[in-house]
Structure 1
Amino acid sequence: MQVLLDNLGTFGRGAWGTVVLFAWSAVGSLVLGTLLACLRVAPSAAMRAAGTAYVNLVRNTPLTLVMFFSVLALPQLQIRFGDSLNTQFRVFAVLALVAYTSCFVCEAIRSGINTVPVGQAEAARAIGLPFGQVLTLVVLPQAFRAVVPPMGNIFIALVKNTSVASAFSNYELISAMRNLIEQNGNAVISILVGITAAYVLLVAVVALAFNRLERAVGVPA
């Protein structure tokens, strides 16, 4: 493990890149996934169809292909973010991760919505609440409590999915691993063990956070 101690800067930079990708993608996925879930349960057939089409299309597309579209197609459409190439590639990677992960967030939230008794939504409509307020005030708060465990699994997968961004000019743990192996070809096993340990640690932190969240607000079994 001496090679990792001698290259803590490279290792730390890669770990920080993974954390940044995960944090932004997690927030974006939660927001977009919630909006998609609302579309999928909306009273309008057109809105339901739009939400269903998006989820079925993107969820069944490999993440690598989604990343290719974000990184290569968006610039062709004159969609750019900032002047720095590093910033642009980081934003493109986050957009791809959000577009992909939000589909799974949507389905988890939709399953949580289905656990809320229909009578509660009907009672809310009976007192004059519109669809938006029924969702935000009555249904979604209960749905979020019900889906904490599956949401944890989705975000654990997101931590690992950030590794795909390394192939698209984003510096994170896999990028750091490649650099370390190129410079220290005689210590491949140590480098692989160190990178694996870093991912295990990040996943453990996410799992612990969701376990605490589940105990605090989750629905008792």
Structure 2
Amino acid sequence: MSADNPLLASGVLTAEGGSVTLSEEFEEAVEEYLSRFDGHTEAEFADAIEERVGDEVAVEPFAALGEKDPRTVAELCALADRLGADDAKANGNPVQLLPSLRLFRDDDVRTDGVPRSFVPVPATQLPELLRIYSPALVYAWLDDSESCDLAKRDLEAVFEEPQEVMPFAVYGPDYREFLEREYSLTAGPAVLFTRDGEVEARLYGAHGPGTIETELERHRR
């Protein structure tokens, strides 16, 4: 990770001994917000988000996500404090930088099989995340599948450079019923191209980088 990365420059992350971790100060700030948010309602989360980050963010889905995962809102508020909410453009957009903090969580979200540059998330949080981040792409994968290995390789090749699309990944077997009910997803590997929370296109199996790039170009318009 580059030394001029805003998360390193602002002290959110620290690099020591060749590894990058959340700084102790940032973790303490997140824990302080978590304590403050204990028992919060969706309306109270909305007030906290507007106060710390401003009303230009997608407050409603963030507040709804707070009831499922208060840590996300705690990290958002602590991140805005660190970056300086009034100077976000200079120091980095806290909303856009927020997903990368999930990579440092010690939770049970499956990470094996996630392509580089993709953010592993619980599928149950997708309804809110895909409204906050638009357009977005969701990669759903399975175990021990040659098609998944090929799809992962193709996605890593395409996303070697930023694509102006937020890339999420979910482990399908852990959320089979949810993915089928919410996104009519019954097989994998699959790539969903979404806008404003709605699926605009989908690819099943491995199609090669060219097909993904073509669909991304259409999706970014």
Q: Do the two structures share a fold, i.e. TM-score over 0.5?
A: no
- Higher strand proportion: 2
Greater share of residues in helix:
1
TM-score between both structures, scaled by the size of structure 2: 0.27
